[in-house]
């Protein structure tokens, strides 16, 4: 069922395509955008203007293509995304290998303009296109015993040069609690700015969980498994003290090596001021209920 969540940001807040393709033109057009924002009366939306296509596609963490922020933009073209299929297994009624087209069948793709907060204390606003993960899970039929959802990224060394290095234990893995996975904010994204998902952003299909640090939103998914036990997650396996299974955005719980109280919004240039990080990345009203009674400093 689509449309369970409506973003306070709308299509009007997204930079028009003719503008986002060229930063200089954006600068020229910023007056017009500001005008449109004022007429629409979206005061909040103005300081949450989505990042440009250039910013979103040139500053990525996708270690399968290298650990530099510009490595994915440089190397991700090597990844074959057609054909693509996802193996769905574990505690589901209809396990199997589903082609990309089969997965998209009957799904309503909507635009979701979400904040993205990286664990490294930078952030963006991204206009994703995708559908709710709950819709897919309902279609494959979640069995009664399932409590978690595990995800896996493509593991194809000949197309992913970063896999040669043991930065993490490959393949990249992530997981969610079932209620987190079924939450209407949680989507599988297949595009951004109305275009097919660029490879460096996790083509052809990736998870987006906007209230968690970015690394939870696993890219280029090839496997989804419903499990009873909490599944292993790559960063958590590598440094359990630094990266918890939950990894909800929380300005009050610091990463052991740096503060999470503030963040740097990408796109502000060399003299951008830091801004305060919001609890659950600004989605507290929607998701705080999932963690009622839990000590978020312990379950970080």
Partner 1 sequence: MIVETVNRVLRRVPPWAIYAAAALWAAWMFYLGATGGLGVEPIEALEHAYGERALQLIVLGLAVTPLRRFLGINLIRFRRAIGVTAFFLVLAHFAVWAVLDVQSVSRIWADIVKRPYVTIGMAAFALLIPLAVTSNNLSVRRLGAAAWRWLHMLVYPAALLGAVHYVWLAKGFQLEPMIYLGLILLLIALRFPALQARLAS
Q: Could you tell me which residues come within 8 angstroms of residue 254 by beta carbon, excluding any fewer than 6 positions away?
A: 260, 261
- The distance of closest approach from Cβ of residue 269 to partner 1 in the complex, given in angstroms and rounded to an integer, is 6
Q: How far is CA 202 from the centre of its chain?
A: 9
Q: Is 59 or 245 the residue whose CB approaches partner 1 more closely?
A: 59
Q: Which residues, in sequence order, are bridge partners of residue 173? A: 152
- The contact set with partner 1 (CB under 8 A) reads 23, 54-55, 58-59, 63, 67, 69-70, 120, 122, 165-168, 235, 238-239, 254, 257-259, 262, 264, 266-267, 269-274
Query: Residue 43 belongs to what H/E stretch?
Result: helix 43-46
CA Rg value for the chain: 19
Q: What is the closest distance, in whole angstroms, from the C-beta atom of residue 257 to partner 1 in the complex?
A: 6
CA distance 166 to 64: 10
Whole-number Å distance between alpha carbons of 229 and 153: 20
Shortest distance in whole angstroms from residue 192 CB to partner 1: 15
Which residues make beta-bridge pairs with 262? 276
Please identify, using beta-carbon distances, which residue of 127 and 267 lies nearer to partner 1: 267
Rounded to 5 degrees, φ, ψ at 75 are -105, -15
Q: How far is the CB of 229 from partner 1 (least distance, A)?
A: 25
Q: Which is nearer to partner 1, 181 or 266 (CB)?
A: 266
Cβ proximity to partner 1, 6 vs 274, nearer residue:
274
Q: Residues 72, 33: contact at Cβ < 8 Å?
A: no
Query: Shortest gap between Cβ of 246 and partner 1 (angstroms)?
Result: 18
CA quadruple 32, 112, 175, 94: dihedral positive or negative? Answer: negative
Min dist CB 120 to partner 1, Å, is 7
For residues 156 and 264, which CB has a smaller minimum distance to partner 1 in the complex? Answer: 264
CA gap 250, 231 in Å, rounded: 22
Residue (23 or 156) nearer to partner 1, CB: 23
């Amino acid at each position: 069922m689509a449309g369970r969540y409506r973003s306070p940001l709308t299509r009007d807040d997204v930079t028009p395509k003719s503008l986002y393709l060229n930063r200089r033109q954006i600068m020229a057009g910023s007056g017009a955008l500001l005008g449109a924002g004022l007429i629409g009366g979206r005061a909040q939306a103005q300081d949450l203007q989505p990042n440009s296509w250039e910013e979103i596609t040139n500053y990525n963490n996708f270690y399968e293509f290298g650990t530099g922020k510009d490595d994915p933009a440089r190397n991700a073209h090597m990844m074959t995304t057609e054909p693509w299929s996802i193996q769905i297994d574990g505690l589901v009624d209809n396990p199997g290998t589903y082609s990309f087209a089969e997965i998209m069948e009957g799904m309503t793709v909507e635009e979701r303009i979400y904040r993205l907060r990286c664990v490294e204390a930078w952030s963006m606003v991204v206009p994703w296109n995708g559908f709710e993960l709950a819709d897919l899970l309902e279609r494959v039929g979640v069995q009664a015993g399932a409590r978690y959802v595990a995800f896996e990224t493509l593991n194809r060394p000949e197309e992913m040069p970063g896999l040669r290095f043991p930065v993490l234990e490959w393949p990249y893995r992530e997981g969610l609690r079932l209620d987190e996975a079924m939450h209407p904010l949680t989507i599988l994204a297949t595009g951004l700015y109305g275009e097919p998902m660029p490879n460096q952003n996790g083509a052809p299909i990736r998870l987006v969980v906007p209230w968690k640090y970015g690394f939870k939103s696993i890219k280029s998914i090839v496997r989804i498994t419903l499990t009873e036990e909490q599944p292993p997650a790559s960063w958590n396996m590598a440094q359990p003290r630094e990266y918890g299974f939950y990894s909800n955005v929380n300005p009050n719980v610091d990463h052991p090596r740096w503060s999470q109280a503030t963040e740097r919004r990408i796109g502000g240039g060399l003299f951008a001021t830091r801004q305060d990080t919001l609890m659950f990345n600004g989605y507290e009203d929607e998701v705080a209920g999932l963690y009622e009674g839990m000590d978020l400093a312990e379950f970080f």
